[in-house]
Amino acid sequence: MTIENFRQKVAPNSEITVKNKKFTVREIIKFRLNDGSFYIKCFLNDDFIIAEDSDRNVFIFGREVVTSFRDTPPKTVSYEGKNYKFLFEAHGVAEEIWGEEIYKKGYSETFWDFEAKDGSYLSLGIADESKERLDLLGKVTALEEVEI
């Protein structure tokens, strides 16, 4: 599966298989970043999320988590016994949504993404309006591990 193929095929209520496990797509969000680029993020059942990373040609797959982070994180963080190195900071606005309205059009968030040596991924986010935490713990996932 390519990122472009994923964008064309993903739809609300469709089944998606990630690492041989089936999920249902609840909402699809197109986030526009400050640099003008965009990415697609999908809320799945059971608090799972999959997001594309077209720069690296992979997906980020994980689950919402509650962390103790409250401020802008440092360049390295430790979480659940793993050390994560900072990848990038970005700000995105929900430009378009399809499906359930878990995240509303126009909402925005700032996030800081980190990766551990084993491919574990930690995204620490804050919703701009509500200041609610939007943290995700997951793994870098190869394109061939995702099917629609």
pLDDT tens, 4-14?
Answer: 999 999 999 99
Whether the model pTM is above 0.85: yes
- Determine the Cα angle at 4 with ends 123 and 25, to 5°: 60
d(CA 18, CA 33): 25
Domain range holding 53? 3-147
Closest CA to 44 of 119, 127, 100, 115: 100
pLDDT tens, 49-90?
Answer: 999 998 899 999 999 999 988 777 778 899 999 999 999 999
d(CA 35, CA 95): 14
Q: Are 121 and 114 in contact (CB under 8 A)?
A: yes
How high is the pLDDT of residue 71?
A: 74
How high is the pLDDT of residue 1?
A: 80
pLDDT tens, 91-148?
Answer: 999 999 999 998 899 999 999 999 999 999 999 999 998 888 889 999 999 999 999 9
How high is the pLDDT of residue 41?
A: 96
Helix, strand, coil percentages, rounded to 5, for the chain: 10, 60, 35
Give the count of alpha carbons within 13 A of 20, CB side only: 0
Domains: count for the chain: 1
